[in-house]
Structure 1
Amino acid sequence: MSKPTYVQEYQAIVEVLNKYSEGCKQAKSSIMKPAFSEQATVFGVDAKGKLKGGSIQGLFHAIDNPPFRPSPEAQGVIVSIDIVGIAASARIDTNDVSGFSFTDFFHLLKVDGKWTVVSKIYHTHVAP
């Protein structure tokens, strides 16, 4: 009988997602970069309803510059992780990242034995 691997895969994905969350909290893309493929994309919709995004480098630039700032008070939770073989999707809800709240959806692939984010889409919640 083979050993079940779902728990290990789940934990490995949590580690990847935690790099993203910690990078947001510290406003340092260098912390989150290892979570992403160099070819990853990020997309969202701006306040005017227009699609914005593209290369993950845009996220890294945004995280490292104002209005983003270290946010030790930020709180996030992994809402879900769904794994099928070498593909996975995940959702994180985060409050108080530089005064913003987000819902992020990630797609991950296991490449060369390592989970990596290949795409992220997000929703920015209206401030209260």
Structure 2
Amino acid sequence: MNKPTYVPDYQAIVEVLNKYNEGCKQAKSSIMKTAFSEQATMFSVNGDGKLTGGPIQALFDGIDSAFRPSPEAQGAIVKVDIVGTAASARIDTNDVSGFCFTDFFNLLKVDGKWTVVSKIFHTHIAP
């Protein structure tokens, strides 16, 4: 029987996701970059209902150029689902540079380390 790893894996995933939350809050991609695989992607649906996205670098560029530090920003890790070396997670954020998002992440445990390989998101109408 293998030793259970759910709790340490959960804690490691939360640590990775908190890098994303903190990077959003401080508007610094350098904080969140280590959470993502270099091959990661990001997609969403734009206001015209069309698919938009591609390499994760677009997230980093957007954070650094269009976002501002938001000390009042809040991010909640709503769900983490782990099966072996694969996981999915959901984060809901409020007031990240005036925006509210729901993000869905897919993570893989590569060489013993959890990394985000894809992100899809929905932007909520600002209050």
Query: What TM-score range do you get, normalising by the shorter chain?
Result: over 0.9
For each residue in 1:101-123, what CA deviation from the matched residue of structure 2 results, as whole angstroms up to 9, or x when unmatched?
00000000000110000000000
Per-residue CA deviation, residues 26-65 of structure 1 (Å, 9 max, x unaligned), is 0000000000000000001111212111000000000001
> In the alignment, what sits opposite 1:121?
120
Tell me the CA shift for residue 3 of structure 1: 3.8
* Residue number in structure 1 paired with 2:47: 47
TM-score by structure 2 length? 0.97
Question: How many corresponding residue pairs?
Answer: 127
In structure 2, the partner of 1:65 is 65
1:19-98 superposed matches below 5 A:
19-66=19-66, 68-98=67-97
Cα distance in structure 2, aligned partners of 1:76 and 1:14: 12
- Alpha carbon RMSD of aligned pairs, Å? 1.0
Deviations 1:78-120 (A, max 9, x none): 0100000000000000000000000000000000110000000
Partner in structure 2 of residue 111 of structure 1 = 110
Amino acid at match of 2:101: F
| SS of match in other structure, 1:64 | helix
- List alignment gaps of at least 5 residues for structure 1: none
Q: Could you list the runs of 4 or more consecutive aligned residues of structure 1 that deviate by over 4 angstroms after TM superposition?
A: none
TM-score normalized with structure 1 length: 0.96
